[in-house]
Amino acid sequence: SSLNPVFPVGWQIAEMFRVHRGMNRSDAETEAVKLMERVRIPAAEERAGNYPHQFSGGMRQRIMIAMAIALNPRVLIADEPTTALDVTVQAQIMTLLKELQEESGMGLILITHDLGVVADVADDIAVMYCGRFVEHCDVRRLYANPAHPYTVGLIDSIPRLDQKGEQLYAIGGLPPSLTDLPTGCSFNPRCRFATDQCRTPGAPPFIEVEEGRFAACYHTEEVLNRERV
């Protein structure tokens, strides 16, 4: 939906080269076809003349990725790159992003609500709540034993195959309005570890709680040593 519906996709990719690299139209279009091949669009040369509505959602996402990597960025920020795609296409898009990242060595910052997608692709995760970092750690440790109650809630909310017939877990309550945050830790009305300290004015500091692991919580130790469900 970010593509312009009235121009062929090849023209839209080529625009990057015309505007930023000063290429002539024919050279820019040759580069656009190469990029379409790089993001695995079959019959790229013929399809460069097609309009966005002639592609599936997954293919359109590949075109967007082609535009994003056209100028060899050092960092690619992919904000919800798999939203509105079905699971199979999601997996293909994530595989493609991973391959492109490995080929080019660029950094990849993935912004997503999908913890499954993150587990597969990321080296490090920063979890945010109400616009702030609440935990930052390498993927392996974060999934094995989260240190912040919000991360615990997110991970416990993932349906598990061995939990048939049980009610699915959800974090109680709703995220607060950013213009009317609770006093103290923003997560305190929804947190099962909350104490009076959590309701005192000021957010808990975001500090290193273990080597290479940062969290913004007064009770990290209890969270790390909690009884598991």
Residue type, 122: A
Is residue 209 part of the contact set for ligand SF4 (CB under 6 A)? no
# of chain residues touching ligand SF4 (CB under 6 A):
13
User: Is position 153 an interface residue for ligand SF4 (rule: CB under 6 A)?
Assistant: no
Dist CA 194 CA 212 (whole Å): 25
Q: Is 193 in the site for ligand SF4 (CB under 6 A)?
A: yes
Nearest approach, Cβ of residue 171 and ligand SF4 (Å):
11
Instruction: Specify the stretch interacting with ligand SF4 by CB under 6 A; choose among 61-69, 107-115, 165-173, 216-224.
Output: 216-224
Is 11 an interacting residue with respect to ligand SF4 (CB under 6 A)?
Answer: no
Counting Cβ atoms within 10 Å, is residue 78 exposed (0-12), middle (13-18) or buried (19+)? buried
107: burial class by Cβ within 10 Å (0-12, 13-18, 19+)? exposed
157 contact partners, CB below 8 Å, separation of at least 6: 168, 169, 170, 171
State which of positions 62-91 bind ligand SF4 (CB under 6 A). none
10 forms part of the interface with ligand SF4 (CB under 6 A): no
Which DSSP string corresponds to 174-221? -PPPTTSPPSSSTTGGG-TT--GGGGSSSPPP-EEEETTEEE--TTHH
Q: How many CB atoms lie within 10 A of CB 192?
A: 11
Place of tokens 């013929």: 46
Q: Does 214 participate in binding ligand SF4 (rule CB under 6 A)?
A: no
Provide the minimum distance between the beta carbon of 147 and ligand SF4 in the complex, in angstroms, as a whole number: 10
At its nearest, how many Å lie between ligand SF4 and the CB of residue 146?
Answer: 11
Q: Name which of 96, 60, 58, 97 is nearest 77 in CA terms.
A: 97
The distance of Cα 87 from the centroid of its chain, to the nearest Å, equals 15
Q: Provide, rounded to whole angstroms, the least separation between the CB of residue 190 and ligand SF4.
A: 8
152 binds ligand SF4 (CB under 6 A): no
Considering the complex, state which of residue 17 and residue 218 has its C-beta at the smaller distance from ligand SF4: 218
Rounded to a whole number of angstroms, the minimum distance from the CB of residue 160 to ligand SF4 is 23
User: CB 27 → ligand SF4: shortest distance, Å?
Assistant: 55
User: Which residues in this chain contact ligand SF4 in the complex, by CB under 6 A?
Assistant: 148-149, 185, 187-188, 191, 193-194, 198, 204, 217-219
